[in-house]
A and B are shown apart, each in its own frame.
Chain A
Amino acid sequence: MLDTNQLFPFLMSGLGFGAVYAMSGTGLLVLYRTTGVLNFSFGAIGAFGASLTWSTIENEWAPDWVAYLICIAFCALITLGYGVILAPRYANRDDLNKMLGTLGLALILLGFMFNLWNTEDARVFRLPTGTRRMQIEWFCNAEGKDCVFDARITYTQVLAVVFALVVAAGVTIYLQRTKMGTAMRAIANDREVASLLGIPVRRVEAAAWLGSGILCGIVGLLLVDLFGSLDVVLMTWFVIPSLAPVLVGRLRHLWVAFFAAFAIGVVEAELNASTWDWPSLYRKTTAYVVAIGALLWFARKRNLVISGRSTR
């Protein structure tokens, strides 16, 4: 019913989205490990930055490359601003309150986007990599036809995969090899002890917010190209499925989250390749099913406590 030639283009598309899940997941996870905040405004900030890019390009206020930098700079500044000004006010609250603070920021930004731009109009800008395409033809016959693997991808999809890999590897090396990375890991292990040891907690946290913001801007630009248009609602809530791989990585294991992100992207895409309708209709639940499955799996050996008595 399915042949490789039919599955392969879906695989390629899934890898592109998996890469964005991976980048988002990396940004969310590192920030969480360092600050204890799961940033629900990640997508909204990226959407706002991308909207600024769209306005800059549409109105020809500046060259395209400046417009892209505006997106990244905006996301970095807003994220850093939240991290330096508002996040410390939540420092003594529990994690749920910290998360809700970022959800509030997401809703505020979404409201501003609805007011500042006519978000119902189709808004499009393409990255230079989005209009260049590559034909993959592997294992073809002597005439170069009837290839076993045949698909067309954009350079944005390639860029997303390469960039996700670079970000994950870079973050890993940064955390292992640099003084700031070591400080981040120390804070992730125990914030109070790290503080007592003289680690400048606020400064390290600010660095984490800044890094997450830069990633947020890059993801925002890539998403516009991968979605095909600037859909602020879709981008704002893209953070929800992006949390699934982070949960699979138990909010701690970067590379587990990284590969889970690609797996989710690919499965989601391949469900659309089925000749049956029902897998396609439910494909968008993939991330949630994976997240729930992971949570159940991790909880399988945990004791259930009833009225002070422990049972299995």
Chain B
Amino acid sequence: MKLRRYGAALAAASLVLAACGGDDEETGGADTATASAEPTAEDTASAEPTAEPTAEDTASAEPTAEDTAPEVGGEASQMSADGESVCGLGTGEEASGDAIKIGAVVTAIPGIAFDLITNQTRAYFDCVNANGGIYGHPIEYIVENDELDPAKAGAAAAKLVESDNVVALAGSTSILDCPINGNYYTEQSIYAVIAGVPAECFGLPNVAAVNMGPHYSALGAAQAVVRAGAAGKMVAVTNTAPGSEYNNTGVEALAAQEGLDYESVFVETPISDADTVILDIVAKAGEGGGVTLTFTPPEMIKLMVAAENQGVIDDVIWGSATPANDGSVAQAVGPDWDGKLLINAEFEPTDKDGPDTRLYASISEEFGGGQPLGSFGQMGFLAGRIMTSALLSMGADAEFTRDNVSEAIKGITRFESDMFCKPWYFGDLPLHIPNNWDITVVPDSASGKMVKTEECFAIAELDDPLIQTRAAEISEGLGENG
């Protein structure tokens, strides 16, 4: 009797668990304008990465759009007189006026910790509020967790838009938000500066991501893996979350272009048996093959420790999408991994000597609870900083209504930061992939940090959205061309 009762309890419990399964100073000039220097698909996969895109040689090749550049200078630049980045107006005084409401939808469940991003956006807004806010108005940041539940994702968007009356979204990072709420945001004229995950986040007119997303990030990692000499077969590994096939399809396209065999592997998270997962992956890739991993830092560490334990680090060439670019990863793994995991960083390393990078580190310490520095944190920081610039660009007398804020966001055609390879933009486009250049970093156990191993290079143009994006950058004078 007891046995049956506990059996029922066990079954019920297992069911429950299964269910849970530069700033710019708008320099305004055209000194960094570029256009035709963009590499093509053929040369991006195997060619050596270029140096930071200087483009002096192409400066005059394309329209510069000086006349359409947004007003992101002055106070909107968030720069002090001595060239240091500051939060908002940088006054050092607490904002106390009526709040400007900014929202975000995040997926935060065990194994998928995207609130690392919204936490950093919140830290940025807290810093802005402690420095005069938006001309005295504090930013009220409202974050809703969809917990990877479609019903909750829909309810979160409705609450933010209709109950909270947010004027825009910043830092949203969700597996479900764009697919479920993307069209709703368009209807409601809500503009969003986010960190994108699924494909839909890169195909909307009113949503632009500061990152390139797992698809292009894994593709960038695969390009680095191919350059490092991977041969025979490419294996792309990611989690089983809805839509995660998108994480691997760029790698698949590159493998086809490079004449490599290809296989996708999906691993349930949180990973409990990393040793066997890693043995399986290495067996599938074969000696000298390439592997790309797309997982959040806690899961990456499990896999990397397992590869260390199994002695298979040198059996294949390893690459990783951006999430692994996290200080905790470099600190957690041993010297066996030094220089062996080619991570698509999307942003410059966190120890770069640049004003935004310095500000990010200081905000993370002061307002972010000492969260480890990494790409996720950079995404949250940039989303907050871009949104703040858009709000400040409206001027002290502006009405911070949804429509006005949307216009300000669309007006960003050139946002510079020492974290980006190239200036970021929003503009008036049918879709947005403004961050489409990449940096490769590798773990360094001695310093406990990720170190840069490849300079900026262009993500290979292997699909229509990226081809359209690069064409629009030139024709609309966006980003580097702005």
B-contacting residues of A (Cβ < 8 Å)?
6, 9-10, 13-14, 16-17, 38, 95-96, 99, 118, 120-124, 126, 130-131, 133, 135, 152-154, 227-229, 231, 233-234, 237-238, 240, 243-244, 247, 250-251, 268-269, 272-273, 277, 280-281, 283-284, 288, 291-292, 295, 298-299
Contact = CB atoms under 8 A, between A and B. Distances in A.
A152 B311 contact: yes
B273 A247 contact: no
B123 to A, nearest CB: 13
B3 interface: yes
A280 B2 CA distance: 33
A154 B11 CA distance: 33
Interface stretch (B166-174, B218-226, B326-334, B461-469): B326-334
A201 B309 CA distance: 46
Contacts of A238: 272
B223 to A, nearest CB: 26
Interface of chain B, main secondary structure? helix
Interface residues of B, number: 51
Nearest to A99: B9
A228 B306 contact: yes
Given A13-B279, A122-B297, A272-B279, A234 B9 contact: no
A154 B310 CA distance: 8
Contacts of B304: 228
B259 interface: no
Interface string B1-38: 01111110111011001000000000000000000000
Given A13-B276, A272-B277, A280-B280, A152 B309 contact: yes
Given A118-B369, A227-B274, A228-B306, A247 B7 contact: yes
B104 interface: no
A229 B332 contact: yes
Given A9-B279, A10-B276, A269-B276, A122 B298 contact: yes
B14 A288 contact: yes
A227 B302 CA distance: 6
A122 B5 contact: no
A170 B3 CA distance: 26
A247 B371 contact: no
B276 A251 contact: no
B9 A233 contact: no
B298 A231 contact: yes
A208 B176 CA distance: 47
Contacts of B271: 227
A241 to B, nearest CB: 8
Given A95-B5, A99-B9, A243-B10, A120 B309 contact: no
Interface of chain A, main secondary structure? helix
B305 A229 contact: yes
Nearest to A12: B275
A120 B116 contact: yes
4 closest pairs, A vs B, by CB? A120-B113, A228-B302, A228-B305, A272-B276
Interface in B286-316: 297-298, 300-306, 309-311
Contacts of B301: 122, 124, 228-229
A212 to B, nearest CB: 17
A118 B273 CA distance: 23
A233 B6 contact: no
B266 interface: yes
Contacts of A228: 274, 301-306
| Residue with the highest number of chain B CB atoms closer than 10 Å, among A233, A247, A251, A272 | A272
A120 B11 CA distance: 28
B110 interface: yes
Given A13-B275, A228-B274, A280-B280, A124 B309 contact: no
Contact of B6 (A124, A243, A272): A243
B305 A292 contact: no
B273 A121 contact: no
Given A292-B7, A295-B7, 6 more contacts: A95-B2, A120-B108, A133-B309, A133-B311, A234-B272, A240-B14
A38 B11 CA distance: 15
A96 B9 contact: yes
A272 B266 CA distance: 12
